[in-house]
Amino acid sequence: MRVVITGAAGFIGSRFTDMFLEHAERLGYDDVVLLDALTYSGRRENMTDALGDARVRFVEGSIVDAGLTNDVLRGAHAVVHFAAESHVDRSISGARAFFETNVLGTQQLLESARHGGVERFVHVSTDEVYGSIAVGSWREDHVLEPNSPYSSSKAGSDLAALAYHRTYGLAVSVTRCSNNYGPRQFPEKVIPLFVTNLADGLKVPLYGDGMNVRDWLHVDDHCRGVQLVLERGRAGEIYNIGGGIELTNRDLTTRLLALCGYDASMIEPVTDRLGHDRRYSVDWTKISQELGYRPQVDFEEGLAATVQWYRENEQWWRPLKGRPE
């Protein structure tokens, strides 16, 4: 059987691929197609281990390309869809690419899956589609109230995915994760940005008052959750995947400074992001009860290991940032 993993050269997609290959034989998959457009955050280096596996082949191309997606998905058993434009700041300065990739690209994949006989489609999304929540946690049936071009484009892709299930019977499941961290994350995101800045003796930019709250999820735990949904998730359902670690951005910054041997003097307050959501928090009771999901990576250990990875792999991130002036 064939599985197609989109966005496989990115941070989460590449890690999912590595972990999925450990289970592929058990699940009956002997043909693993990695699809990625290799835009700025998709890197061949992230797929090095996977491409050494005889079951794996890589296809370079965009998910908005109908001819390509029709060809790759025809006869595939499953699709795990990670491909997306995902950085909020970039969406604020240039929204069009986010709607083209996240909405139109997802719709094209769904259309190709519908006509290609795909039996399982896992659409990977984000908790940001819910907006901001002052107290409590979002359940999967909460109304969508996205506040950025990025999150609104992801909300649109979620609705398209669920519509293809309801209208055409495509076996789609949607996952919504909290903030991921771990090795190989592009250094525009907060943890690798701060760690690589500090490696160069540069200050770290902290938005506003630093009191925005995020729930942190190690990429390995996220991938385990997606794997469970691929194997046993119900069609037409949404599954929140959380880490259970809520921190203000200032708390996170303090921990990163300590791990890198610095103090608060390295914080540079900057003007808050436009439309900055105050707090995210997902209720992941559903995936826990139905599929047995539990986060396994201790946050303190996971964060320390992530910092250490960036310290030991400058050759990976240095070309993406350049040398400090």
| Residues 6+ positions from 169 with CB-CB distance below 8 Å | none
Query: Which one of the listed residues 128, 158, 220, 221 is annotated catalytic?
Result: 128
Does 128 qualify as catalytic in the annotation? yes
Alpha helices in 44-176 (DSSP H): 48-51, 66-73, 88-93, 96-99, 106-116, 149-168
CA distances from 34 to 48, 111, 192 (A): 12, 19, 25
Kindly tell me the sign of the dihedral angle through the C-alpha atoms of 232, 234, 236, 240: negative
3-state helix, strand, coil in the chain (%, to 5): 45, 20, 35
User: First-to-last CA distance in the chain?
Assistant: 51
Query: Which one of the listed residues 18, 85, 111, 127 is annotated catalytic?
Result: 127
Query: Which one of the listed residues 18, 85, 130, 150 is annotated catalytic?
Result: 150
Q: Measure CA 30 to chain center.
A: 25
CA distances from 238 to 171, 203, 249 (A): 12, 39, 27
Does 127 qualify as catalytic in the annotation? yes
Contact 129, 141 (CB under 8 A): no
Contact 156, 170 (CB under 8 A): no
Active-site residue numbers? 127-128, 150
